[in-house]
Every structure is written in C-alpha cells, then in structure tokens.
Structure 1
Amino acid sequence: MAEVNKPLYEPNGAAPRLMSFDDILSHVGDLNRWQLMIFLLFSLVVIATSFQNMVIVFVGAIPEHWCAVPELAALPYDVQKNLSIPYEISDEGVLKWSACEVYSERNYTETALLYASGGLDSPLPFLFTDGNQTSCENGWVYDQREGASTFASEWDVVCDKSWLASATGQSLYMLGFLIGCIVFGEISDRKGRKKTFLLTVVILGTACTASAFAPVYPLYIVLRVITGASVAGFYNSAYCYLIENVGSTYRNRCSNAYSMYYGVGCMLLALFAWLVPVWRHLQFGISIWMFILLGYYFLLDESPRWLYAEGKHKECEMVLRKIAAFNRKSYPENVQMILDEKKHQIVTDDGKVREPNVMDTLRTPNMRKKSLIMMYQWFVVSMVYYGLSLNSVNLGSNPYVGFTLASLVEIPAHLVAMYTMKRFGRRLTTSATMLASGISCLVTALPFLHGFSWLIVGLATFGKFSVSITFTVVYLYSAEIYPTVVRNAGVGSNSVFARVGAILAPYISMLGTHYSTVTLPLVIFGLPAVIAGVLAMFLPETKDRVLPETLNNGEQFGRDQRFWQFMPRKVVDPTISEPMATPDPV
C-alpha cells in the first residue's frame, strides 16, 4: 500500500497537490481536439449500428406476390393474375388480388394455349367463374423490379410464414441484443472499453458479413442473433468511452450529437438499398467495411476514466498526458491523483475482496431504487418507440422515400432533447416527454375520434416524436447515474430491458392489423408511458454533476433529490464533487 500512496511527483521536495480525475481532465481539455477526434471516430459506430438494426426492413421486405402457376409462367403478370388468382377484400374494404390462394379447378394448359393463339380476346365464362381455391402449391411469383430480391422472396417467407420475415425476424435480433448487453457489459467493465470494442468489431464484422452468404433462413437468423449481441457491446462500449471522457457540462451535447448519426445512418441505408436492390449484395456492402474499424487499435488508448476507476493510476496518467499533448495543453505538474487503491475492489463482511458486478446496481437501497426505475424507463421507451414505428402510417408508396422521411424526423427530436436537457435537466425532460407520448397515445382511444384517421395518425406521430426525445435522454441519463465501476454493466442491464420491450413491440403492433382494433396498440403503449413519466420524477438530476466513480459514490448520489423539485439545482462549480458519506454496507 505504501507504493500506492507514493506521490507521483515530488520536485524539489515540494508536497504534491491532490487532484481528482475531473480536475486533471479540465486542465488537459474536457472538450477539445482529442474529444472531437473520438466523436468523429465513433460516429462510424453509430452509422454501422443503424445499418444492422434496420437492414431487415429492406432485406426482409415482402414484395407483392401471388401463387405461381407453371402453365402460365410465360404470360404477362396481369394476365396470370386475371386467369388464376381470386379477389379478396382487405380490412379497409379494398378489393385486391389474393396473395396466398389460387383457383384449383381450371385447365391452365388449355388457357395458356388459347391465349397464345389469340383465342382469349373475348371473355370465356368457364374461365372467370368462381371455383374452389387452394393455397399456393407451386411457389409464388414476385413483382419486383428487374434483378431485385429479398430473403423473403428467395426463401418464400410469405403467407403463413410471413411472420418469420417481420415480427419474429426483428424480435430474434433484439434477443441477441439483449444477450450482448449482459455479456459485453460485464466484459467492458472488467476488461476495459477498448478491448471490448475491438472484440465486438471482429465478431460483428464476421457475423453480419457471413449472413450475406447464408444458404438457408435458419442459419441467417442465427447469424442475426450473433449480430445483435455484438452490436450491443459494439455500441455501448463506444458510447461509454465517449461520454465518460468529456466534461460534465458537455455530456448533453455530445450525447445528442452522437445519436444524430443514427438518423444519418438510416437515411444512408435507404439510399444504399435503392442503389443495391439485391439483398445479398446490400448485406455484404454494409458489413464488410466494418473491419476497417480494427484500425482503431492504433488510434485509441484505453478509456482514462476507466483506468482511473480501476486504480491503474500510472496508465491513466500516461493517457491523460497524451490527451494533453494532442489538445496542445500542459499537463499539471507536481500533482497526485486522488486515488489510493483499486477503486473497483469491494471488501465483503467476511474480509474477502471481489470484483463489482451488475448485481451491485441493486444491492443497496438508493442504487436499487434508481436502477429499477431506469430499467422500467428503458423497457417502456423501447417498446413505445419501436411499436409506434411499426404501427405508424406509411408515409408514401415509395418505401425508400418513406423510410428516409421517418429517419429525418428523428433529427429535430435530438435537437429538442439537447435544448431541454440543458435548460430543464435530464429528469424533467424524461418525465415530460414520456407523459406527452403516453397521453397522446391514450387520447386516440376516445370514441369521438373514431373516423378521424388523420387526427389519430397525427397523435401517434407526436407520440413517436416525444418518445424519440426520451430515447435520447435515457442513454445519457443511465451513463451519468451509474458509477464508473459498473457504468457499462448498468447501461447494459438497462438495455436488456429495452430489448425486452423491442421484442414485444412487433407483436403488440400486430393487434392493430384489423380496422376495428387499429388504436388498441396505442392504448397498450400509452398506459406504461404515463406510469414511466411519473416514476421518472423519483430519479436524481445529473445535469452538470460530477460522475460518481465508486459504489459508495453511486449509493449517495441523489439521496437528497425531492419529487417536487422540478428544476435542476444550480451548481457553482460543476467540477467540484459534493462530499460522499459512508453508505449502507455493500
């Protein structure tokens, strides 16, 4: 222990000054050239994440299709449908061709010969009378532009298997994300942000590239689960690296600017999907480039705040000196970090030393209260966000334009979030936007609104806009509430509950497929959102506050917060930590 307490500098015998990590970071630059470089490097992480999260919208799209009749294969599409496909009435009362049934008692060989010889210039009654119908026994014909394909059309994931391409396909990806949040959250807090990031780059690049060559649907889905798991560690480790190494007053703008790249990535994905209509080519193109991120091994050091929290003060000092040089700042000399032991170690009642884990976020009263509320916030915000996205009105007949517009709407949400978090803090912004989203969804169930579809669509769109703001806030909020030693595990455990919400969202949205139940999903989304808005007021405000480092700090943080205290307290010097009392035994 004597070696640990030895001052780092003792020039001329002068006693070293004690400085915390945040004090030193403010000297070497807490938002300067180095942080800008990290921000730009990790912007590619957000774009890659958006690609993999949303690519199934295009590669798994179900094009217009109808039962194949081999005898009619040489005829034009409209003639094939006229001769073999029955009509059906949609839930909206629109007459359309059946996608999954065909007339079974027609002589299609004779029909094809008559058409080829010009004998079908006038209608023949025996060809157009209703007859017995059967499911597609010879596969399907897909109406796609020349050369286009999706895995739904390649593997015939349509009709009674259509749920595999939509709800289940995305839900299993989110299941992988859930697993990744748990596994890679622990790895990140134990082994470091950089190692976790590089490990997930290898796994992610391999899995999503291999999915472009999957010969069968089951293998593709297995690779998608692995992709989802690696995306979780990939994104969360990069996010924590960025947020924990900027000054407290800059975390808001960095988090929101960082999240804006998600919308940019979605818009780029729509462009690439339009330019590359073959799903295997698209999947390969958005995946193979990620291997260049392995070059970050040479560009990144380990997160200095993680090194500080781990008690690795020599390594932390080396990285901080590099940051100072990169930012063209001077490193403060004759200082000693306020770090006397390995901060992540915990001494139990029987005297044993152990590593912190995700259960430490629930072990003590105040940490448990904050963690449970934040887990619920993530569950609801994810369920409502993805649910409203799936249940919202189509913005146009062109899927590429509609997807682009839907992605573009997210950018103003981040701008609003940036302002409201700076002006009103994290706590009030989370509560207000959750309540706004929940109430707007619940209002759609009022009886006198039935028949005003445009108003229902408007309310649902406003609900999505509001919950998009909440989604932006909770990422930053979680990173600020949890202490450094369990920050990634805490954010990861929250994200687990978010994935549970995302898994349920497609199935809840399916309840609105019938005209008579179109508002039912909105009601199901609205009630939990209102509850989440009220519970958010029990969380502590983190605006301009020093991030907690140890479990002791985390337990004491926010104990003085009151429910009716709406506006953030003014902090004279946000770089000065408030004294931390001894918490309940861990």
Structure 2
Amino acid sequence: MHTDDIIEAVEGMSRFQILMVVFIFGPKMLMAWGMLMMSFAGTTPDWWCVPATAPSVDETDYMNNVTLKLCPTSDNITCQIVYSQDKNTVASEWDLICDQNILKSIITSVQMAGVFFGALFGGQSADVLGRKWTYFISLVLQSGFNLVAAFSVNWQMFTVLRFLIGMTIGSLLVVSYPYFMEFIGRKWRPIASAMPVWVTGVCVFALSSWLRPDWSHQHIILAALHLPFFAGWFFVPESMRWLAVKGRTDEAEKVVDQMSRYNKRQKPTNTLQLLKQVAEEEQKLRASGSRYTYLDIYRGWSICWKSLVIQFIWMCMSLVYYGISFGAVRLAGNLYLNIFLLAVVEVPTTVLTFFTNNKFGRKWTGIGFFAVATSAAFGVAIIAKTVSKDEQGVIINLLALVTKLGVGGAWAAYGLLASETYPTVIRNLGYGAANSAARVGGMIAPYVFAGGDGDLVVPFVIVGSTMAVCGVLSVVMKDTKDQPLADTMGGQVNTRGDVMMVAIPEDIENTKL
C-alpha cells in the first residue's frame, strides 16, 4: 500500500506514464500482429488441379472449370497444382491442401503452445529476474525469430519458429500488463485495458497483408518494426514495486526520483522509509529464504479458488477470441476486411471499459459483456440454421462482430481484475498462469472453425455456451474496484490455510505524503 501512496504523490498518470505507454504498451501492436499472423498466412488461395498430360490450357479456362478444383488421388489422373496469384501463404508455399490441410491448424496450435510455455516462463522470470530484463530480452528474441521465420525452407522449420515466436509473445503478454500497471495510480488502472493498442496492431496487420499479401514479407516487416522500441531500454526503469519487495530500496528510490523528475512533482520526503517498510515486511514473510513459485497462487483456499476461476474464464475467452479471429476466412466477404472489422469493432468497447470498470467494477463489466457475446453467438447459430445461405451472410458477419466485441470487452475487464487480485510478489505468476490457461484455449481455437464444410452452427453453439458459463462463474468473483495494489502476501497462514492480512500500524497508515 505504501508504493500506491508514493505513486499518487509523484502523479499516477503524467509524462512518465506516457513514456511507459510508448515503450511497454506500444509493442503490443506487434504482439497482436505476430499472434494473428496465421489468420492470413494460414489461408489457402484459390487453386486448381490441372492434369499434367492435358494440352496447354489457358488460365481463364481452368479457373472457370470447377472439375479442376479437386484433390488429386491415386485413382485419378496425375495433376499439377496451380494457385491463384492474389496472395502467397504457407498453404501455397508448401502445398498444405487436401490431405495436408490439417497442418495449417497444427501450425497455429503449435504457435499457441509456444505462447503457453512463454507465459509460464515469463511469469516466473519477471518475478525472479525482474520485469525489465524479461521484457526486453523477449522483445529482441521476438524480432529475431520473425526475421528467421521469413526464410523458412519447409513447413517443419516454419512450425518450429512459430513455436518460438509464440513463446516470446507469451512472455511479453505476461510481463507488459503488470509492468505498466505497477507505475500508474489507482484510478487510472483501467486505462491499461482501455487503450486499443492490440486492436490497432491487428488493423495495421490487415492493411499490411492487403498491401503486401506474402507471408514471408509480413514476417520481415514485423521484425523491422521492433527496432524503434529497443530504445526503451535506455528510458524505462525496473518496476519500483518489484525492487522494493526484493529489498533493493536504493534502486527503487532512484526510480521514484526519475518519475518525479519526468512528472515535475516533488517526491515524498519519507520515500525511502516507506520503501524500506515494504522490504522489511516482505523480508519477515520470506524469512525461510524460499522463492515464490506458481504453487503460491494456489496456497490457501482464499487465493486458490480465485486463481482457478480466473484461469478457466481466461481459457474460455481465448478459445472464443482466437476461434473467431482465426476463423475470419469462414465469414462472408473479403478476408482482409473481415480481419480489420473483427479488430476495429473492439475499439469503442475497450475505450468504454475505462468508464464501466471505474463505475460498475471489473466483475459486472465482465458479466455484461459475456451476456452480449452469449446472445450474439447463439444468434449466429439460429440464423445459420434458419435463414437461406444467400441471405445470411451479412447478418452472420454482424453477429460475429458483436460476439467478438463482447469477448473483447470481457477480456479487458478480466485483464485488470487478474492483475489486481494478486500482490506484487506473485502478480506476474498469477497473471502468467491466467495467460497460460488462455493459451490452452488458443491451442483448441483453430479446430473450432476448422471442420464442418462451412457450417457455423456447431462452432457458435460452442462459443455461446462457453461465454454463458463464464458469465455465471463471474458472479462468484470478488471485485477489485478501488482496492489498493498489495505488494506482499501480507500475512500468515491460519489453520485453514487462508491468508490473513497483517494490520498496518496506525502511525504508518496515516502517514502524510
């Protein structure tokens, strides 16, 4: 609680925090680009199986001949696969069609598995090595892996690199959100979820793919866009909260000096004393000398059940969010426009969550958006079942956009709730576990829309059902609105294993800054 007071004294949202937005939240655009790369790279251009023994056929002839759009088999004539030239994807690069078609979903799932392991690693690393080192190492590796992926010589090499890219994305996602939040004031925390940085990244990706529809070029462009953000190493400090709980109070005070200098505010005269109180409290709790691990987010029923609910909800949100995103090709209309619309629809929603999170709380904001997503998803299933295919295209696209809007808004609320539920010493672990659970949903997501020959009933019944379950589970969660960010576990374990908060002495609690 002392660190919250210090941040409020030197300004909870000013020039320093804007610097953090640029260098810590700015790269989220690139994470979004990298995460959804397969929504373009995994699509299959129009193709035709032209008999190798057939006389010379002009392009117009075989493009109009539907009998030439059949998978070659051992029973039919040997043929040559010819692809449309409107885009170059991994499917056309390595003939991932027909019996190889499933490999596209496998590549996407492998990427999401990488995000899973990256989230686990990033959560532990950020709490052990620090937020800054973990963040910038992951950022450099993400750029490098994208550059190498652009020169993949086969789908196996590409798959390995998508896994490694996924690991860096997972690590960055876990670190960036708590890292930024640990520098902002209490009333400004919802802005971490309200800034449409991720959405902007997806929109730019859609535009770039449209202008340069080549999977290799997209990886090179993405790698190059990382370069300006490397400069953040020289401007962005380590988390003051993390330094304090690690006992590095002199370094933490220097961070406060930097914040006060940038924000042109006087730091509290008793800053070092308050930081030492945080360090001493943590030292008493950690007298055994053991390190925090993921087990600590399940130690004691009061934190265990919250962790399990948060992780299950994040898994479901990821399943729906990425299922719809990777399934953009299944919607009617232009692929690039669909990717753009599925992203841009979240802009007003994420901005709205800044106000709803502050007014109604994180819990009820999430419940409201889950209700919207549930209704729209079941609406798609009903329309797909009852309306003729010629008339359902626009309606289904609109309802799919509303579903994406709903899950995006709910995720904005739960990103904040998950970070605020855990104290500084295990915040990245708790947030990392939630992200890892989300990647389980992400690994399943490519298969939700993969089969069924264009049928949308089953996928959107799954989507609607999972959103409904999330809404019901949200009711039992405790809201974190207006609550200070805890720095330590703050207590001792009672006979039931629940965490008991240590009372703050009155003279400390009433300290004037």
TM-score past 0.5 threshold: yes
Report the alpha carbon displacement of residue 430 of structure 1 after superposing the two structures with TM.
1.3
Report the alpha carbon displacement of residue 364 of structure 1 after superposing the two structures with TM.
0.8
Report the alpha carbon displacement of residue 182 of structure 1 after superposing the two structures with TM.
0.5
Change in 2 beyond 3 A, CA 1:455/1:67: closer
Among candidates 233, 246, 261, match of residue 184 of structure 2: 246
> Taking every aligned residue pair, what percent have the same amino acid on both sides?
27
* 1:485 corresponding residue in structure 2: 425
Report the alpha carbon displacement of residue 72 of structure 1 after superposing the two structures with TM.
5.1
Structure 1 CA distance, aligned partners of 2:204 and 2:48?
31
Structure 1 CA distance, aligned partners of 2:66 and 2:163?
38
3-state SS of paired residue (1:30): coil
User: Is the helix fraction higher in 1 or 2?
Assistant: 2
Change in 2 beyond 3 A, CA 1:73/1:225: farther
Q: RCO (CA 8 Å, sep 6+): is it higher in 1 or 2?
A: 2
3-state SS of paired residue (1:353): coil
Pair 1:160 & 2:160 matched = no
- Is this contact kept in 2: 1:344–1:355, CA < 8 A? no
3-state SS of paired residue (1:354): coil
Could you tell me which amino acid in structure 2 is paired with residue 34 of structure 1? F
* 1:197 corresponding residue in structure 2: 135
Structure 1 CA distance, aligned partners of 2:250 and 2:429?
25
Report the alpha carbon displacement of residue 173 of structure 1 after superposing the two structures with TM.
0.7
Change in 2 beyond 3 A, CA 1:578/1:35: farther
Could you tell me which amino acid in structure 1 is paired with residue 44 of structure 2? I
- Is this contact kept in 1: 2:12–2:184, CA < 8 A? yes
Change in 2 beyond 3 A, CA 1:376/1:311: same
Structure 1 CA distance, aligned partners of 2:403 and 2:378?
10
3-state SS of paired residue (1:513): coil
Could you tell me which amino acid in structure 1 is paired with residue 446 of structure 2? P
Change in 2 beyond 3 A, CA 1:358/1:437: same
* 1:113 corresponding residue in structure 2: none
TM alignment of 1:87-486, pairs within 5 A:
87=67, 98-101=69-72, 133-134=76-77, 137-145=78-86, 148-165=87-104, 167-257=105-195, 260-335=196-271, 336-337=273-274, 339-340=276-277, 341=279, 352-391=288-327, 397-442=333-378, 450-451=386-387, 453=392, 458-486=398-426
Among candidates 498, 513, 519, match of residue 438 of structure 2: 498
Change in 2 beyond 3 A, CA 1:332/1:342: closer
Change in 2 beyond 3 A, CA 1:275/1:390: closer
Q: Residues 214-259 of structure 1, C-alpha deviation per residue, up to 9 Å, x if partnerless? A: 11110111011000001111232122111111001001123311xx
Change in 2 beyond 3 A, CA 1:168/1:444: same
Structure 1 CA distance, aligned partners of 2:270 and 2:409?
44
Among candidates 28, 43, 65, match of residue 46 of structure 1: 28
3-state SS of paired residue (2:27): helix
Structure 1 CA distance, aligned partners of 2:285 and 2:486?
19
Alignment: residue pair count:
495
Q: Residues 358-379 of structure 1, C-alpha deviation per residue, up to 9 Å, x if partnerless? A: 1100011110011111011101
Could you tell me which amino acid in structure 2 is paired with residue 352 of structure 1? S
Pair 1:523 & 2:461 matched = yes
Structure 1 CA distance, aligned partners of 2:47 and 2:422?
51
Report the alpha carbon displacement of residue 512 of structure 1 after superposing the two structures with TM.
4.1
Among candidates 33, 39, 42, match of residue 60 of structure 1: 42
- Is this contact kept in 2: 1:212–1:280, CA < 8 A? yes
- Is this contact kept in 1: 2:297–2:303, CA < 8 A? yes
Q: Residues 412-467 of structure 1, C-alpha deviation per residue, up to 9 Å, x if partnerless? A: 22123222212211011112222332344345556996226465555443322211
- Is this contact kept in 1: 2:330–2:454, CA < 8 A? no
Report the alpha carbon displacement of residue 200 of structure 1 after superposing the two structures with TM.
0.6
- Is this contact kept in 1: 2:371–2:467, CA < 8 A? yes
Could you tell me which amino acid in structure 2 is paired with residue 100 of structure 1? C
- Is this contact kept in 1: 2:39–2:325, CA < 8 A? no
Report the alpha carbon displacement of residue 343 of structure 1 after superposing the two structures with TM.
5.4
Structure 1 CA distance, aligned partners of 2:149 and 2:169?
14
3-state SS of paired residue (2:361): helix
Change in 2 beyond 3 A, CA 1:218/1:449: closer
- Is this contact kept in 2: 1:248–1:543, CA < 8 A? no
Structure 1 CA distance, aligned partners of 2:368 and 2:115?
28
3-state SS of paired residue (1:528): helix
Change in 2 beyond 3 A, CA 1:217/1:346: farther
Structure 1 CA distance, aligned partners of 2:502 and 2:329?
49
Could you tell me which amino acid in structure 2 is paired with residue 337 of structure 1? L
- Is this contact kept in 1: 2:47–2:84, CA < 8 A? yes
3-state SS of paired residue (1:68): strand
Q: Residues 253-291 of structure 1, C-alpha deviation per residue, up to 9 Å, x if partnerless? A: 23311xx01111111112222222332222111113324
Could you tell me which amino acid in structure 1 is paired with residue 265 of structure 2? K
Moved more, 70-79 or 305-314: 70-79
Structure 2 CA distance, aligned partners of 1:293 and 1:537?
40
- Is this contact kept in 2: 1:26–1:247, CA < 8 A? yes
Structure 2 CA distance, aligned partners of 1:578 and 1:524?
44
Structure whose CA Rg is larger: 1
Pair 1:534 & 2:459 matched = no
Report the alpha carbon displacement of residue 73 of structure 1 after superposing the two structures with TM.
8.0
Question: TM-score, with normalisation over the residues of structure 2?
Answer: 0.88
Report the alpha carbon displacement of residue 406 of structure 1 after superposing the two structures with TM.
2.1
3-state SS of paired residue (1:356): coil
Structure 2 CA distance, aligned partners of 1:400 and 1:447?
24
TM alignment of 1:73-88, pairs within 5 A:
74-80=56-62, 87=67
- Is this contact kept in 2: 1:312–1:342, CA < 8 A? no
Q: Residues 58-93 of structure 1, C-alpha deviation per residue, up to 9 Å, x if partnerless? A: 2332100011334558532132456xx663xxxxxx
- Is this contact kept in 1: 2:174–2:435, CA < 8 A? no
3-state SS of paired residue (1:337): helix
Structure 2: gaps spanning 5 or more residues: 506-513
Report the alpha carbon displacement of residue 393 of structure 1 after superposing the two structures with TM.
7.9
Structure 2 CA distance, aligned partners of 1:189 and 1:550?
12
- Is this contact kept in 2: 1:511–1:521, CA < 8 A? no
Could you tell me which amino acid in structure 1 is paired with residue 151 of structure 2? F
Structure 2 CA distance, aligned partners of 1:294 and 1:391?
33
Could you tell me which amino acid in structure 1 is paired with residue 167 of structure 2? A
Report the alpha carbon displacement of residue 202 of structure 1 after superposing the two structures with TM.
2.4
Report the alpha carbon displacement of residue 342 of structure 1 after superposing the two structures with TM.
5.3
- Is this contact kept in 2: 1:482–1:554, CA < 8 A? no
Structure 1 CA distance, aligned partners of 2:133 and 2:412?
26
Among candidates 10, 22, 38, match of residue 28 of structure 1: 10
Structure 1: gaps spanning 5 or more residues: 1-18, 88-96, 105-131, 561-576, 582-586
Could you tell me which amino acid in structure 2 is paired with residue 310 of structure 1? K
- Is this contact kept in 2: 1:344–1:550, CA < 8 A? yes
3-state SS of paired residue (1:39): helix
